Amino acid sequence: MSRRWLLLLCLIPAALGTASPSRAASAAAERSGWTLGFHVGPGKLYMDGDSLQRETGVMTDLRFDYFVTPAVAMGFGARSFSAADSGLTRSVKMVTVNGTWYPTSLGFNVRGGFGVATLTEEFLARNPFTGAGNRVALEDNGFATVVGFGYDHSLTGAFGLGLEVEYAHAGLSDGGMANLLSATASLNWNR
């Protein structure tokens, strides 16, 4: 991800956060019940001991949270990352339990969670004698941890937009590790 994208993702929440205090207070009062969020954006995957270095791909995230208080939400998230390059396709899927804290009424938040992860690698393996290729898929499972921060901007009482930067780590059963950094934009529905 280029530095321009990271700068843009940091400046937009700051610009949205300059809303009037009365609007911010009403947004905090609206944080109750449950929320469903869909996130999409670029991501970078780094595999421990991998000579391919970082791979850029697409990150999607579907979240269901329930506001325990106007400042704290608990819920579940399902993340999916996919990158393809030179015949190699890598995907990471994570299902996590999340906690989100809104330290102010302006919509800024900090999120953390843990759960399970699956890494899948697919590639074409050529037979050196016949030249024919077979599609090979390898899969590994492990434990996932997620941390992130973001900003949620309420458009109406029911809909909002958000931006988030997230780091996810997966410790895989074969001893390997996968690290995933993503920056996503979201559409949230609150009920």
Instruction: Enumerate domains of the chain plus CATH numbers.
Output: 3-190 (2.40.160.20)
What would the pLDDT profile of 38-97 be if each residue is shown by its tens digit? 999 999 988 876 655 668 899 999 999 999 998 999 999 999 999 988 778 889 999 999
- The confidence score (pLDDT) of residue 173 equals 80
Tokens 């900003």: give the residue: 151
> How does residue 31 score in pLDDT terms, banded at 50, 70 and 90?
confident
User: Among 58, 143, 70, 60, which Cα is nearest to 105's?
Assistant: 70
Which pLDDT does position 108 carry in this prediction? 94
Taking 50 as the threshold, does the pLDDT of residue 16 lie above it? no
* pLDDT higher than 60, residue 179: yes
**DSSP string across 55-94:** EEEEEEEEEEEEEEETTEEEEEEEEEEEEEETTEEEEEEE
Most confident of 3-7, 80-84, 155-159: 80-84
pLDDT of residue 137: 81
- pTM reported for the whole predicted model: 0.76
95-116 pLDDT, tens digit each: 999 999 999 888 899 999 999 9
Instruction: For residue 137, count CB atoms less than 10 angstroms from its CB and return exposed for 0-12, middle for 13-18, buried for 19 or more.
Output: exposed
Name the β-bridge partners of 97. 76, 114
Burial of 58 (C-beta count, 10 Å sphere; 0-12/13-18/19+): middle
Continuous H helices in 17-159? 21-30
